Amino acid sequence: MRVKLVAGNWKMHGSLAANLGLLDAVRAGAAGCKADVALCVPYPYLAQARAVLGGSNVAWGAQDVSEHAQGAWTGEVSGAMLADFACRYAIVGHSERRSFFGDTDAVVAAKFSAALKAGLTPILCVGETLSEREAGITGDVVTRQLDAVLAKCGAAVFSRAVVAYEPVWAIGTGRTASPAQAQEVHALIRARFALEDAGIAAGLRILYGGSVKAGNAAELFGQPDIDGGLIGGASLIAADFLGICAAA
């Protein structure tokens, strides 16, 4: 039985003052939650997340990680630095990184590998754009994104990783994939892993992300291959995020 995971992705939101109430409320509200819960916050707030969430059942993580271990890479943050702040998770390959910051499949694979080397659990995001869906190539796109990481790292390391299916057209649009649409792609992702290793495929947590709300979470999470969610906008409001955690 896979324990569900609900991970918030704050994206570039927050302030020290505003975060405090949100972190406190999630910490308190998630106590006793049956699902695993995590918040991926902007880098400058990792220390605050650690201070507030430490000792609770809410983990914290980053939204990206450098592919490099150290050196002259101005502006980059390494996996070891994230581990220094006791991060459990690092998101890699988010569609906003892929589309706005040029993270190619190869870069995403390198970041995934760097996260693992630092002892972090990478959350590998995959997903098609609206035009790719309309062209009927959703499966090809998602498979290509997975294969770049599988080719570099192999399937076995996915015992220490999470996959998130985030259709780009559903991110921040209020247009959620239907449970059936999401389940279809989640099943395809699990089948891709089953070709490599049946045990890894069976244990892999595959999250859905894209306009998840408290009101649609239970139906999405009820699908056989949906093991939780990666939550953007709704992770910025404690009651909304906790409602999603309760649905898991």
Active-site residue, 166 included: yes
Minimum CB separation of residue 217 from ligand 13P in Å reads 11
Interaction residues for ligand 13P, span 3-32 (CB under 6 A): 9
Determine the interface stretch with ligand 13P among 75-83, 126-134, 150-158, 210-218 (rule: CB under 6 A): 210-218
Closer to ligand 13P by Cβ: residue 117 or 175: 175
CB of 204 to ligand 13P, least distance (A): 18
Could you say whether residue 154 binds ligand 13P (CB under 6 A)? Answer: no
The single residue among 60, 209, 228, 238 that binds ligand 13P, judged by CB under 6 A, is 209
Chain positions 94 to 133 lying near ligand 13P, rule: CB under 6 A, are: 94
| Upper half-sphere CA count for residue 106 (Cβ side, 13 Å) | 0
- Of 87, 230, 242, 247, which one interacts with ligand 13P (CB under 6 A)? 230
> Is residue 228 at the binding interface for ligand 13P, with CB under 6 A as the rule?
no
The answer to whether 66 contacts ligand 13P (rule: CB under 6 A) is no
Binds ligand 13P by CB under 6 A, chosen from 26, 79, 233, 242: 233
Residues near ligand 13P (CB under 6 A), total: 14
Nearer to ligand 13P, 70 or 173 (CB): 173
| Residue among 166, 225, 227, 240 that touches ligand 13P (CB under 6 A) | 166
Rounded CA-CA distance 235/227 in Å is 17
Work out which of 212, 214, 226, 238 binds ligand 13P, going by CB under 6 A: 212
HEC profile for the chain?
Answer: CCCCEEEEECCCCCCHHHHHHHHHHHHHHHCCCCCEEEEECCHHHHHHHHHHHCCCCEEEEECCCCCCCCCCCCCCCCHHHHHHCCCCEEEECCHHHHHHCCCCHHHHHHHHHHHHHCCCEEEEEECCCHHHHHCCCHHHHHHHHHHHHHHHHCCHHHHHCEEEECCHHHCCCCCCCCHHHHHHHHHHHHHHHHHHCHHHHHHCEEEEECCCCHHHHHHHHCCCCCCEEEECHHHHCHHHHHHHHHHC
172 binds ligand 13P, rule: CB under 6 A = yes
Q: Are 30 and 56 spatial neighbours (Cβ–Cβ below 8 Å)? A: yes
The CA distance from 143 to 88, in Å, is: 26
* Identified catalytic residue from 96, 128, 132, 166: 166
Give residues in contact with ligand 13P (CB under 6 A): 9, 94, 166, 171-172, 209-212, 230-234
Hey, which residues are catalytic here? 94, 166
